[in-house]
Amino acid sequence: MTEYWPQAGRENTQATCELALARAGELGIKDIVVASTTGYTARFLVNKVDNLVVVTHHVGFREPGVDEMGAEEREYLRAQGARLVTATHLFGGVERALSGKYGGIYPGGIIAQTLRTFGQGMKVCLEIAAMAADAGAIPWGRDVIAIAGSGRGADTAVVLRPAHAKLFFQTQVREIICKPWEWEVR
């Protein structure tokens, strides 16, 4: 049964992580992929799952050369056994540079906007799962739980079988554990 939060937001983080961990236990899922910019959301999950993969913003996401997570938080998460993936966002990359400079739409942007009709967290869940698969941080052909949010914190969790970026349309969303009922459309 899907849990719906009244609104998107950081206040749902702890409950989202608890539901995801409980569902992982019920299904025997060993891998959780979580979006975490600063480490806040990842800390709810450390030492609670066999394979915690933390997908961060790429360096320079908000400001050239700046790592939003910081070295101390990265070291803490690694010391707790988490695997960190820092890479260009699946739906952005060089196409985002073209759109920013010349305008127009691009395939990655179209896919991202379509997924956002289910909420920002849903888009990010599918994106980070593919990024983790491309980095070799999760095993191929196995269901995982992905956790993400609509800004800071987490409000969305799904069970899915991710595919690599080049095979993205083979991704299978198996179950929505939780998501916001209402969110701001970007």
Of 145, 152, 135, which is closest to residue 176 (Cα–Cα)?
145
Where on the phi/psi map is residue 153: left (φ > 0), alpha (ψ -120 to 50), or beta?
Answer: left
Give residue 67's pLDDT: 86
Give residue 93's pLDDT: 78
Helix (H), strand (E) at residue 34:
strand 31-35
Helix (H), strand (E) at residue 61:
none
Helix (H), strand (E) at residue 38:
none
Instruction: Write the CA distances from 157 to 15, 41, 58, 85, integer angstroms.
Output: 10, 12, 22, 18
pTM here? Answer: 0.94
More confident residue, 34 or 186: 34
Provide CB contacts within 8 A for 113, sequence distance 6+.
Answer: none
Read off the pLDDT of residues 114-168 as tens digits, 9 standing for 90 and up.
999 999 999 999 999 999 999 999 999 999 999 999 888 999 999 999 999 999 9
Q: CATH top-level class for 3-180?
A: alpha beta
Read off the pLDDT of residues 15-28 as tens digits, 9 standing for 90 and up.
999 999 999 999 99
Q: Distance (Å, rounded) from C-alpha 56 to C-alpha 67?
A: 9
Q: Distance (Å, rounded) from C-alpha 115 to C-alpha 73?
A: 30
Q: Domain ranges for the chain, please list them.
A: 3-180
Read off the pLDDT of residues 67-125 as tens digits, 9 standing for 90 and up.
889 899 999 999 999 999 999 888 887 888 888 889 888 889 999 999 999 999 999 99
